[in-house]
Amino acid sequence: MPLNEKLDDIQDGQDGIPGSDDDYVGVLGCLHYAKLGLLTTAATVALIALSCSNGTLRAKGEQQPQQIVIKESEEDAAYRRARREHLEGDLPAAVGLYEKCTDDAHKRRVASHLLSIKTTYRTLDSLTDLTIQSLKRNAQTYREAIHDAKAAVEDAPENPSAYAALGRLQMCAGNFDAAETAYKESFELLRNAGKDDVAVRAGIIQTAIFKKDYDAAIDLAERTWNLYPWETDIAQRLIDAYNLAGRIDKARSVVSALRIQDPKNEGYIRQEASLAWYCEDYGGVIGAYAELIKRDVKDKRFLQEQIVQLQTLLKND
């Protein structure tokens, strides 16, 4: 059983650990430090727990030894905080804390974790940049259509649909500032008329993502999804914005909500696995892959091989 699951079982009191409360705390502490990769500290806790247990190392009726308190080193504490932020999906915070772990004991692990996080950022940013470059290459293609759309806006300045159409064309041409202006004008006209249009909201969110104004994209996407929780397109844009902002924990919570809405959707399970990879939550990856295998997906054999590799990684970590 992976350490993460073992620790959860013990915390839930499902393991039935024999002995005193000291035995329980000792095993819990050992697994806690091992889970964080602090193997030396884990071994020390295990030895002290054994020496303080109700086993053969203490004669019957002997006075309970004085409790020994282990002082965690500053380096171990810094690494533990960084690892917790990483596993919880707050990647920007994790990066900042990892970069403070300069001691030799954690150097190799920190380098590996930083590479994993930065590769994730590069991949997400590269995909966004490629999309932007592709759109900007379309500028010439859309020039005439944009000219006509502007004329339509001038003819009907109170028509929100005309502004929305202009916004779509400007975004397709890579003119994101102009697209945002047109979409927002459409949004205001709709609101003044007591109406709404999810497609216009989606356009504003997407232009904010392309402009890398992730806070604005997240703010509007959250408010829109609260109003229209069945709109999966909005949810996906919210996931994109969270990912690009490094808030993987939030992206995972949206995917979990989508899975509840549509438990048969295989795509959401794969998305869940992908986000778990970003956080190095290999237990989460294994769980998602196992569910896909139960559904007899086409790449079942590959997923089974991945599970074996991940289980080996968890045992050796």
Is the pLDDT at 173 greater than 60? The verdict is: yes
> Please, which pLDDT band fits residue 129 given cuts at 50, 70 and 90?
low
Q: Which two tokens stand for residue 96?
A: 């900042």
> Please, which pLDDT band fits residue 117 given cuts at 50, 70 and 90?
low
Average pLDDT, the chain: 75
Cα–Cα distance measured from residue 50 to residue 58, given in angstroms and rounded to the nearest whole number: 10
For CA atoms 235, 239, 245, 249, give the dihedral sign: positive
User: What b/e sequence results for 240-258 when a residue is b if at least 16 CB atoms lie within 10 Å of its CB, and e otherwise?
Assistant: bbbbbbbbbbbbbebbeeb
DSSP helix/strand/coil, 22:
helix
Q: Do 41 and 87 meet the contact criterion of CB atoms below 8 Å apart?
A: no
Number of helices (H) and strands (E) in the chain: give both, helices first: 16, 0
Is the pLDDT at 55 greater than 80? The verdict is: no
For 189-216, how does the pLDDT look when each residue is reduced to its tens digit (9 = 90+)?
Answer: 999 999 999 999 999 999 999 899 999 9
Is the pLDDT at 37 greater than 50? The verdict is: no
78 or 184, which is more confident: 184
Cα–Cα distance measured from residue 124 to residue 115, given in angstroms and rounded to the nearest whole number: 14
- What are the domain boundaries of the chain? 1-71, 73-137, 247-317
For 103-113, how does the pLDDT look when each residue is reduced to its tens digit (9 = 90+)?
Answer: 666 666 766 66
> Please, which pLDDT band fits residue 257 given cuts at 50, 70 and 90?
very high
Average pLDDT rounded to a whole number, residues 311-315: 81
Span 247-317 CATH architecture = Alpha Horseshoe (1.25)
Is the pLDDT at 261 greater than 50? The verdict is: yes
Is the pLDDT at 282 greater than 90? The verdict is: no
- Tokens 């000291």 belong to which residue? 22
Its pTM stands at 0.60
Residue 183: its pLDDT value, please?
95
At how many degrees (to 10) do helices 232-244 and 214-227 cross? 150
Average pLDDT rounded to a whole number, residues 11-40: 45
Burial class (CB in 10 A: 0-12, 13-18, 19+), 215: exposed
**% of the chain at pLDDT higher than 70:** 59
